[in-house]
Amino acid sequence: MDPLIGDVTVFTKNRARLLAGDVVARFLSALIGQSRVQALLSDDQFSVDGTLIEAWTSIKSFRPKDDSASDAGQNGHAKAKGQNAERDFLGEKWSNVAHASTTDPDPPLFKKARGRAAKLSHGP
């Protein structure tokens, strides 16, 4: 290896210096200022090539909207109360029409393909 280039740690240190300084901010500001990039930006929507953006809410917070759920599930198993209580999902049917997250009502239950797990996400 050419001694003038150095080893891999040189690039790691340079990356840290670039991020610590305002070089990255100036680069991104200059990039966003270009008319070609302006045509690609929108305040109306946000997309990430069909990637599911998982919500920052727990599946435990996904509850029936009517909120008249008893302490037992449909299958009769008792549910513990409390913030981190265990839930018995056996036999429960979930839908976005009848259920919503109690901590963040915006993200629906969404799955990307048949056979994949459904998650609280902001879909494509």
pTM (global) more than 0.75: no
The span from the CA of 110 to the CA of 123, in Å, is: 7
User: Tens digits of per-residue pLDDT, 11-25?
Assistant: 667 777 777 778 778
Instruction: Give me 13's structure tokens.
Output: 């240190």
User: Tens digits of per-residue pLDDT, 27-52?
Assistant: 888 888 888 888 877 777 655 566 66
